[in-house]
Amino acid sequence: MRQILLTLSLLALASCGQSTTPTSATPQAPGARSTDEIQAALAALPAPYSDANYDEGRRAFAQCRSCHTINAGGANRVGPNLHGVFGREVGTAASFNYSQAVQDADFVWDADRLDDWLANPQSFLPGNRMAFAGVRSDEQRRDLIAYLMIESAED
Ligand code: HEC
């Protein structure tokens, strides 16, 4: 599983910025992720994330990209790099200056906590500095979290 996730992450990196002009001779651009690979990664996630829509999750992450990178070694922007966020103690991305509220919090990020945080960051952890209203739709959060699980996987 880890190997699959790593491979997917690397493929995602490799495909960054490439223009894909599929022809019959090259059904798939080099480095592009096949539908089968995405489906396999999704199927390996715990329910309900195994039923998520990856493309919708990627679209939902557009709301986060201005502030967050998700690739391994990605820069901190307005918000911290999110690589490896699942299983990570809150507020511990390297070299990021967190608010006092986040520094004082003490838990490990898992899907349920991410779900609460993304539904309403301010009610989940009052006083934090993430200027983001939240994702109201349960389905959109499911898709987004599945996308985060796949894309933030540690190697
Ligand atoms: C306007 C910028 C901004 C946007 C948009 C934004 N964030 Fe954040 N995010 C932050 C900041 C700033 C923090 C640190 C908060 C603090 O220290 O109080 C943060 C913290 C986080 C954390 C906690 C990380 C840790 O290391 O504990 C997660 C997880 C997170 N954001 C996910 C997301 C996701 C997913 C989205 C999109 C739905 C998103 N954020 C949208 C700015 C943003």
Q: Where are the domains of the chain?
A: 2-13+36-151
Q: Residue 3: pLDDT band by 50, 70, 90 thresholds?
A: low
SS (H, E, C) the chain: CHHHHHHHHHHHHHHCCCCCCCCCCCCCCCCCCCHHHHHHHHHCCCCCHHHCCHHHHHHHHHHHHCCECCCCCCCECCCCCCCCCCCCECCCCCCCCCCHHHHHCCCECCHHHHHHHHHCHHHHCCCCCCCCCCCCCHHHHHHHHHHHHHHCCCC
Distance 20 CA to ligand 1 centre (A): 31
Looking at residue 102, its amino acid is: V
Distance 124 CA to ligand 1 centre (A): 12
pLDDT for residue 73: 94
Q: What is the pLDDT of residues 102-132, one digit of tens each?
A: 999 999 999 999 999 999 999 999 999 999 9
What tokens were used for 61?
A: 């992450």
Torsion sign over Cα 21, 22, 24, 26 = positive
Residues 101, 126 contacting (CB under 8 angstroms): yes
pLDDT for residue 17: 45
pLDDT at 149 over 90: yes
Q: Residue 2: pLDDT band by 50, 70, 90 thresholds?
A: low
pLDDT at 26 over 50: no
Examine residue 27 and say whether the peptide bond preceding it is cis (omega within 30 degrees of 0). Answer: no
Q: Which of 68, 118, 141 to mutate to test the pocket of ligand 1 (most atoms within 8 A of CB)?
A: 68
Given the CA of residue 90, which atom of ligand 1 is nearest to it?
A: 27
pLDDT at 6 over 80: no
Distance 65 CA to ligand 1 centre (A): 10
pLDDT for residue 34: 84
Q: What is the pLDDT of residues 55-90, one digit of tens each?
A: 999 999 999 999 999 999 999 999 999 999 999 999
Q: From the centroid of its chain, how far is CA 28?
A: 24
CATH architecture of 2-13+36-151: Orthogonal Bundle (1.10)
Q: What pTM, to 2 d.p., does this model score?
A: 0.83
Q: Residue 21: pLDDT band by 50, 70, 90 thresholds?
A: very low
Q: Which of 78, 100, 132, 141 to mutate to test the pocket of ligand 1 (most atoms within 8 A of CB)?
A: 132
Looking at residue 128, its amino acid is: N
pLDDT for residue 134: 98
Distance 80 CA to ligand 1 centre (A): 7
